[in-house]
């Protein structure tokens, strides 16, 4: 098993080398186990800080539910990515290789949230506004997840063998659709496992009874944080949906641009310096 304290820094310093080693099927199980343990620890720490805004009991609950949220979403969505790639592209990759690439993206998300945990603790200690803190958690998780999706996209693009242009385009479309499905499953899973923060006036409970949905709750949080009357928030729902869509689209185009840039750099011929 890889060193748990060095695998993420080593990965982030040279992700291409890591993904090429997965393509060659080198120590894939060991890498997957290490990434899974790093993700588990990082999500538990961040979940504890988020839940601490309400109570120590909520902190313990959230430290369990945050890793369950991300890892269970991955397990629900992973077969779709692998089976569609196998059926439509005939991918030679094994399930364990695809799992490790997906785990690498999730591990980046977890690692970034671990870095944001002290900032989260600062606001726990200095702010009592539930709506603001709820929005802060959504923003932190959203930004970290988008960056994690970029690395996942980059990894899947690198480990897939070189194909014809038509199959390459099809593969990117499959991956794009899978990222969208992953996002919707993740938000629904977030909703079913909530509360992660918990309203100060509510009693503690592990799972909140069914109510509206994730996006309606985000709109209500924005309304509460900005002290907007309910009659003035009809424009917020399309704004939230549009923002989520364009952020996801931006991540995909950013990932594609980075990949094209890396490819052009590698293929550029060397020019001898004049003597």
CA–CA distance, 204 with 141 (Å, rounded to integer): 23
For the chain, the domains span: 7-261
- What is the tens place of the pLDDT at every residue in 208-240? 765 555 666 666 666 665 666 655 555 454 555
CA–CA distance, 148 with 251 (Å, rounded to integer): 10
Please report, rounded to a whole number, the percentage of residues in the chain having pLDDT higher than 90: 33
User: pTM for the whole thing?
Assistant: 0.74
Per-residue model confidence (pLDDT) at position 267: 45
Apex CA 187: angle with CA 133 and CA 71, to 5°? Answer: 100
Per-residue model confidence (pLDDT) at position 269: 47
| Number of Cα atoms under 13 Å in the Cβ half of residue 161 | 9
């Amino acid at each position: 098993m890889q060193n748990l304290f060095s695998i993420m820094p080593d990965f982030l310093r040279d992700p291409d080398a890591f993904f090429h080693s997965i393509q060659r099927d080198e120590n894939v199980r060991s890498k997957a186990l290490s990434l899974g343990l790093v993700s588990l620890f990082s999500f538990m720490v961040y979940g504890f800080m988020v839940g601490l805004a309400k109570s120590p009991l909520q902190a313990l609950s959230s430290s369990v539910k945050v890793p369950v949220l991300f890892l269970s979403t991955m397990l629900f969505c992973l077969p779709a990515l692998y089976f569609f790639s196998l059926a439509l592209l005939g991918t030679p990759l094994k399930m364990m290789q695809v799992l490790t690439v997906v785990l690498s993206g999730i591990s980046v998300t977890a690692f970034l949230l671990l870095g944001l945990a002290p900032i989260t603790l600062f606001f726990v200690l200095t702010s009592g506004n539930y709506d603001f803190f709820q929005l802060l958690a959504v923003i932190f998780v959203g930004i970290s997840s988008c960056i994690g999706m970029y690395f996942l996209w980059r990894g899947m693009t690198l480990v897939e063998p070189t194909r014809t242009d038509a199959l390459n385009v099809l593969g990117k479309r499959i991956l794009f659709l899978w990222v969208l499905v992953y996002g919707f499953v993740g938000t629904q899973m977030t909703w079913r496992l909530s509360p992660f923060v918990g309203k100060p006036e509510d009693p503690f409970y592990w799972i909140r009874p069914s109510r509206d949905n994730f996006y309606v709750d985000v709109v209500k949080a924005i309304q509460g944080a900005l002290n907007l009357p309910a009659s003035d928030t009809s424009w917020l729902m399309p704004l939230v949906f549009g923002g989520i869509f364009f952020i996801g689209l931006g991540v995909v185009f950013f990932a594609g641009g980075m990949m094209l840039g890396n490819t052009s750099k590698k293929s550029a011929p060397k020019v001898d310096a004049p003597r």
